[in-house]
Amino acid sequence: MQTEGRVRIPGVLWFSLRAHWAFGLLPLAFLTEISRTAIAFTAAAFVAGSVLDWTGSSRRGWHRAGFFLLATGAAAAVADLFFGSGDFLASVVLLVLGVQSVKFLLSKTHRDGWQLCAISFLEFLAAAATTTEIQFAAFLFLFLGLSAGAMWALQAEEAAEAGGVAIPRTRAGFTVLTLLLTAVTGFCLTAVMFAVTPRIGIEQFLRRTGSRGGITGFTDTISLRDVTSVKVDRRIVARIEFPELAPGVSPPELHLRGATYTRFDGTKWRRGKSPHGRVPNAGSHYLLSAQKAAPLSSAEIFMEPIGYSVLFVYAGTVSVEGALGEIRTDGRGNYRLSAGKSAVRYQVRFAPGGSPP
């Protein structure tokens, strides 16, 4: 005897639809810092709901329990926002996970299916907004293919619910090839858009319009609260690429230097009051220190606008290249750009393991 799910639509579409519903959880689990407990709970709800869907369970009266779970999820999201991470996006994702868990457990029509697809898409967008990992491209490829399969399955399910409409038999091989072709086409179009679209942070537009002075950065004083806020802030400050690395150098072991604070009054650190001299340059090439005998490495640094004109360099930096205007230094390894200037892109050449320039 066939189950309710198998009668409605072919099995390959049934599984494709549910794979799409759950797929949004994967990038959240592997590429973000969203609560693993919440993700695990939602995954368990998905498994339980899929089993109930497959067996055709009616689940009468479950909506009352669903309301309790939804209220619990909303309370957890509010608590995370005000007493936990303080991250609005993370709190919204927790709320979305709560709604998704309830939808997984309850019986579903094709309308519920569309809603779960939309929730999966929201989770995918949340992961895209909080990661720069290249692995996201693989998730994108799979998501595009599963999206096509989900729409196909929901159309077939809607036709079955209308009554009197015969559901055509679907060959598994044909379905897989169709979804694969759709995923490849969508991925190629996305790659073209990625290549031709300038990757400029929204903060730069905010800065130009004057609605916001900066995103983050160094002021002349800093407190423990400031340090904590920087640590929990998930916004991207810089993107770094290494065109050339000296033998034995590992990027995770390198640390950028922005500013040093030499005076502490018991509550705050302050920068020392030292005169700043101009760094010699020839056009866009700036010489910070004498040429090192050791092999040099290079790094391309893409900076988002910051609230203070600090130039970030590595220890042992020999030279900097970029359209940076005037660079000034206090002679202690701290470098500043001209007032109102925020570095967007520059290259540094440095000898790893060297002393600050």
167 with 278, same domain: the answer is no
Task: Over range 259-268, report the average pLDDT.
Answer: 70
Structure tokens at 187: 């991925």
Task: Over range 260-284, report the average pLDDT.
Answer: 74
Torsion of Cα atoms, 210 then 211 then 214 then 219, to 10°: 90
Using alpha carbons, list the distances in angstroms from residue 68 to 37, 91, 205, 214: 18, 18, 43, 42
Candidates 322, 316, 311, 305; CA nearest to 356 is: 316
Question: Which pLDDT does position 228 carry in this prediction?
Answer: 53
CA distance 320 to 236: 22
CA distance 101 to 113: 13
pLDDT higher at 215 or 79: 79
Beta bridge partners of residue 278, listed in sequence order: 328
32 with 136, same domain: the answer is yes
Given 196, 212, 230, the domain boundary residue is 196
Q: Is residue 54 part of a domain?
A: yes
CA distance 16 to 356: 55
Instruction: Give 177's contacts (C-beta < 8 A, 6+ positions apart).
Output: none
182 with 314, same domain: the answer is no
State how far Cα 258 lies from the chain centre. Answer: 24
pLDDT over 90, % of the chain: 7
Question: Which pLDDT does position 3 carry in this prediction?
Answer: 42
CA distance 44 to 147: 22
Cβ atoms within 10 A of the Cβ of 157, count?
22
Number of domains observed in the structure of the chain: 2
Q: Is residue 250 part of a domain?
A: yes
Task: Over range 255-262, report the average pLDDT.
Answer: 74
77 with 120, same domain: the answer is yes
Question: Which pLDDT does position 182 carry in this prediction?
Answer: 72
Quote the mean pLDDT of the chain.
Answer: 76
Q: Is residue 304 part of a domain?
A: yes
Q: 346-357 burial, b if ≥16 CB within 10 A, otherwise e?
A: bbbbbbbebeeb
Range from 81-90, 142-151, 179-188, 238-247 that averages highest in pLDDT: 238-247
CA distance 102 to 34: 19
31 with 170, same domain: the answer is yes
Given 132, 163, 196, the domain boundary residue is 196
Question: What's the pLDDT band for 46 if we cut at 50, 70, 90?
Answer: very high
CA distance 245 to 351: 10
Beta bridge partners of residue 223, listed in sequence order: 268
Q: Is residue 343 part of a domain?
A: yes
Question: Which pLDDT does position 175 carry in this prediction?
Answer: 62
Whose tokens are 């056009």? That residue is: 283
**Burial class, 166, CB count within 10 angstroms (exposed 0-12 / middle 13-18 / buried 19+):** exposed
Q: Is the pLDDT of residue 328 over 60?
A: yes
Q: Is the pLDDT of residue 341 over 70?
A: no
Question: Count of H helices and E strands in the chain?
Answer: 11, 14
Which tens digits make up the pLDDT trace of 148-180? 778 888 887 877 777 645 455 555 566 667 767
Q: Is residue 357 part of a domain?
A: no
Which tens digits make up the pLDDT trace of 277-316? 788 888 888 888 877 667 888 899 887 766 667 788 888 8
Given 196, 229, 250, the domain boundary residue is 196
98 with 158, same domain: the answer is yes
Which tens digits make up the pLDDT trace of 49-72? 999 988 888 887 787 777 888 888
Range of the structural domain that residue 175 is part of: 4-196
83 with 228, same domain: the answer is no
pLDDT over 70, % of the chain: 72
Q: Is residue 216 part of a domain?
A: no
Task: Please report which residue ranges of 33-170 form alpha helices under DSSP H.
Answer: 36-55, 62-83, 88-105, 110-129, 136-162
Cβ atoms within 10 A of the Cβ of 334, count?
23
Candidates 312, 306, 298; CA nearest to 350 is: 298
Model pTM greater than 0.75?
no
171 with 229, same domain: the answer is no
For the chain, how big is the Rg over CA atoms in Å?
27
225 with 192, same domain: the answer is no
116 with 233, same domain: the answer is no
pLDDT higher at 267 or 314: 314
77 with 154, same domain: the answer is yes
250 with 105, same domain: the answer is no
Candidates 139, 126, 68, 62; CA nearest to 96 is: 126
Q: Is residue 189 part of a domain?
A: yes
Q: Is residue 95 part of a domain?
A: yes
